[in-house]
Amino acid sequence: MLIASWNINGVKARLDALTAWLTERRPDIACLQEIKSVDEGFPRKAIEDLGYHVETHGQKGFNGVALLSLKAPEEGSVLRGLPGDESDEQSRYIEALWQTEAGPLRVASIYLPNGNPLGTEKFDYKLAWMARLEKHAAGLLEREERLILAGDYNVIPEPTDAAKPDVWVNDALFQPESRGALRRLIHLGLVDALREVDESEAVYTFWDYQAGAWQKNNGIRIDHLLLSPEARIALRSVGIDKHVRGWEKPSDHVPIIAELAE
């Protein structure tokens, strides 16, 4: 079973790339972030024609998350929006439950706030959002299900996760508070799937469009798959589809994929 996460950076602009990748990789569940589309405007037919069920939590012009799956999730299991703040109107979280031969599998697609610039309410919002995610994740872990919290976390965990870490010192993605919040989340009992199988350097999921970052491999790792202990037991491999960044009209992110035993 393949579970993938990809910040698509505008689903309509990247639809050809998305359908090509879905055809090539055929993930069982694909978590999308930054779809930049309202629910009714999401190009679902092109994806449904490939055999996928579509669940979205959209927003006009920015943000937005989606779950694409070969099998529909359990009826009534889709959660749109991160609990803990009813005033939060930003579409950054969607979660659903699937029944599989190996038991229940819960997957969330997460687009964590960027938080820049520092010293503004945007950074405060990022940290508050991460605190809400930590609380929600703690509750999910009590279910003792296979759980995958997948998405663009907008956090560089360690200096080895950036080609040029010094460049990010004054960026919200690399602040001690952001990194500490991610560590607290993981320390609930989650594991960083990629680092479970690959401790090498220069493993990135994002390359900026500017200054030839892709050509120079000046990237960062900010897209993560966090697994519960039950999902960790089933983990077989993790890969990054780096080649997708070289396609025509690419997203600045690439997909990250975990293979779980059925």
* Catalytic residue check, 28: no
Domain ranges of the chain: 2-260
Which residues touch 151 (CB under 8 Å, ≥6 apart)? 5, 7, 31, 33, 65, 108, 109, 110, 111, 112, 223, 224
Q: Name the burial class of residue 199, with classes exposed (0-12), middle (13-18) and buried (19+) by CB atoms within 10 angstroms of its CB.
A: exposed
pLDDT at 256 over 90: yes
Asked whether residue 217 is marked as a ligand-binding residue, the answer is no
> CA nearest 34: which of 154, 149, 130?
154
Rounded to 10 degrees, the C-alpha dihedral 206/22/241/208 comes to -20
Average pLDDT over residues 2-14: 98
CA atoms within a 13 Å half-sphere pointing along the CA-CB vector of 79 = 16
Q: Which of 111, 204, 223, 224 is catalytic?
A: 111
What are the tens digits of pLDDT across the range 9-50? 999 999 999 999 999 999 999 999 999 999 999 999 999 999
Is 34 annotated in a binding site? The answer is yes
Average pLDDT over residues 108-124: 98
121 annotated to bind ligand: no
Which candidate in 28, 152, 171, 223 is catalytic?
152
Does the structure show a pLDDT above 90 at 189? yes
User: What kind of architecture, by CATH, is found in domain 2-260?
Assistant: 4-Layer Sandwich (3.60)
Place of tokens 């031969």: 101
**pLDDT number for residue 262:** 81
Q: Does the structure show a pLDDT above 90 at 227?
A: yes
Rounded to whole angstroms, the Cα distance separating 224 from 230 reads: 17
**252 among annotated binding-site residues:** yes
Report pLDDT digits (tens) over 60-105: 999 999 999 999 999 999 999 999 999 999 999 999 999 999 999 9
Is 125 tagged catalytic? no
**pLDDT mean over 238-249:** 97
Please give the pLDDT value at position 166: 98
Give the mean pLDDT of the chain.
97
Query: Is 16 annotated for ligand binding?
Result: no
Contacts of residue 107, defined as CB under 8 A and 6 or more positions apart, other chains included, come to 3, 29, 31, 67, 95, 96, 98, 147, 148, 150
Catalytic residue at 243? no
Asked if residue 152 belongs to a known ligand binding site, the reply is yes
Q: What is the pLDDT of residue 35?
A: 98
Edge-first strand listing for the sheet containing 146-152: 79-80, 93-100, 103-111, 146-152, 223-227, 191-192
